[in-house]
Amino acid sequence: MKGFLKSFLAGLLALIVFFGILFFASIGVVGALATQEQVALEPKSVLVIDLSRSMNDKKLEDPFADLSGEEIYPDLSTALALIEHASRDSSVKGIYLVAADNVNGFAASSELKEALKQFKATGKFIYAYGDYISQRAYALASLANKIYCHPKGIFEWQGMSVELVFFKRMLDKLEIKPQIFYAGKFKSATEPFRETEMTEANRVQTTEWLNDIYNQFLEQVASDRKLNVDSLKAWADRYAFDRPEKAVAAKLLDGLRYDDEVKSEIRKQIGIASTDKINFITLPNYAKAVTLDNPYAKQKIAVVVAEGDIIYGKGMPESIGSEEYLSVLRKIRNDDDIKAVVLRINSPGGSSLASEIMWRELELMRKQGKRLVVSMGNVAASGGYYIACNADRILVQPNTITGSIGVFSIVPDLSSFMNNKLGISFDRVSTSRYADAPSVTRPLRDEEKRIVQGEVDRIYMDFKQRVADGRKKDINYIDSIAQGRVWTGKKAIEIGLADEVGGLSKAIEVASKLAKLKEYRIKVYPEPKSILDYVLQTYPTEFSRSQMKRELGEEEYMILGQYKKLKEMAGDIRTELPFQFNYK
């Protein structure tokens, strides 16, 4: 029997070792296959940019993309650099915008539009086309030399709307009591759990920032198309373009064309025969065909991409984990070749403690002599503003969502839900009165509520002080513009929460001037994961999330995420944007 067990265990160990070697060998093969191949750039090429593809601030990692044939669009920073490179590339004659939909946010679209304007200013053409054209796509495509829609397509022009989701009635039915604490009269992140509709304060701030963004959109289109803002607004108010030919008559479109007709026009533009194939090159393939950076410069500017919710601890690929970012920032601080840091923020905020941890490391970095410039993306609010406030300069887009300087906490009481709905009850023995506080299985006592509210008020005061010190303002003034209120980037400059308009490219330029750098290269952080880390850590999470999103749909997935967040918040002190929103 002993001999049998010995042989069995030896065989089992051999199998484990064999399959382990096979697994890692497979990973190596996949890595080799997934290595980017160089793409040849042909003369008279036309760069294709599909606005329905997301250009996130954080670079998407998928080593298997090349194997599956799927094109991964570059991150926003790379996309902007590619468009700038194309403007100087004699092989690229123009840009073809696929302008059916635009999944990129307000500020990201503004940055893309600025890069396209610079491209167009060189004399090269931009053609935009969509079988249908959404309003968000049109906001970016309006600068094109020619904008065409399918003759039987749809042209969307109907204004902007924000829809918030409220859970109070559902929580009432489930007998879940969200015990809520907050500081700042506009800090309405808890509204979905305590109200059935917007409070007046939230309606005021939402109306103001939405109209601010809408007016900026109308002004840009009016400038691009040489039209009147009042006319643009009136057309949306009466839904004037139920057929695309009406948009042509109003000069919002240059005509209605079929796809082949647009391509025939492009052939004439680049001077090739009607039977010749157009050398279209997608943005991902163009990235493989050119070299963007100066790899020989010794001095570096670090671009730290902080995108997603701010999470205490390690975090996830789509979040800003304090543990990971503390390690990244410390590594940058100790690198003598890095002279300046551009912190690119696209975050609604999150954990107050995680925000403070990152703020501290950024402050140490500045004291050590590195210059810090913040570039705000679509959203840099609450905790996202907390980690920005001590920068040397803060750059925004006019339609960036920022501010929301306020604090809240939720301690859900699940006792009635557990007892009455599930038949589960709880009992306890404690050595002291507060040993189990805060608990989600019993209501908070009055003195416990005072303790939680006191902690919220203390963190709110610290938050305001951080902002006052960073922006060199009186704390009473900061209190007057804080209160959890949301501001657009345009208003943030006016009230002193930001310094100037500019995107990531401008922020890098500002950082180089502050650090007095003539030659430098860009180093992006967090650094890409190894293929093994991707397979073991990132891929399973991303796969399950994408499957769930596909099954539920975008809105339902967002609602599920908000409900899940309620459960995770129990007792946590949050500095977070007061809403999640979908906009048309």
91: left (phi over 0), alpha (psi -120 to 50) or beta: alpha
Helix axes 352-367, 446-471, angle to 10 degrees: 30
Phi, psi dihedrals of residue 61, rounded to the nearest 5°: -110, 120
Give the residue carrying structure tokens 């070697």: 21
Nearest to 73 by CA among 288, 284, 289, 287: 284
Q: Which residues are catalytic?
A: 187, 382
Contacts of 262 (CB under 8 A, 6+ apart): 127, 129, 148
350: exposed, middle or buried (C-beta count within 10 Å: 0-12, 13-18, 19+)? buried
Which helix (H) or strand (E) element contains residue 342? strand 338-347
Cα torsion 227, 228, 230, 235 to 10°: value is -20
Candidates 413, 377, 412; CA nearest to 397 is 377
Burial of 9 (0-12, 13-18, 19+ CB in 10 A): exposed
Nearest alpha-carbon partner for 452 in 215, 178, 196: 178
**Residue 410: which residues within 8 A CB-CB, separation 6 or more?**
178, 179, 180, 181, 190, 193, 566, 569, 570, 574
Q: Which residue has the tokens 């650094």?
A: 527
DSSP 143-175: TSSEEEE-TT--B------EE----HHHHHHHT
CA distance 470 to 476: 14
Pairs from 229-234 (Cβ < 8 Å, separation ≥ 24): none
Kindly state the tokens that stand for 45. 């090429």
Bridging pattern class, strands 146-149 and 125-130 = parallel
Residue 248 in contact with residue 255, Cβ under 8 Å?
yes
Q: How many residues does the chain have?
A: 584
Query: In angstroms, rounded to a whole number, what is the distance separating the alpha carbons of residues 98 and 127?
Result: 9
With beta carbons less than 8 A apart as the criterion, state whether 182 and 574 touch.
no
Q: In terms of DSSP bridges, do strands 146-149 and 45-50 run parallel, antiparallel, or are they unpaired?
A: unpaired
| R_g of the chain, CA atoms, integer Å | 27
Strand-strand pairing, 371-381 and 401-403? parallel
* 502 vs 490: CA distance, rounded Å: 11
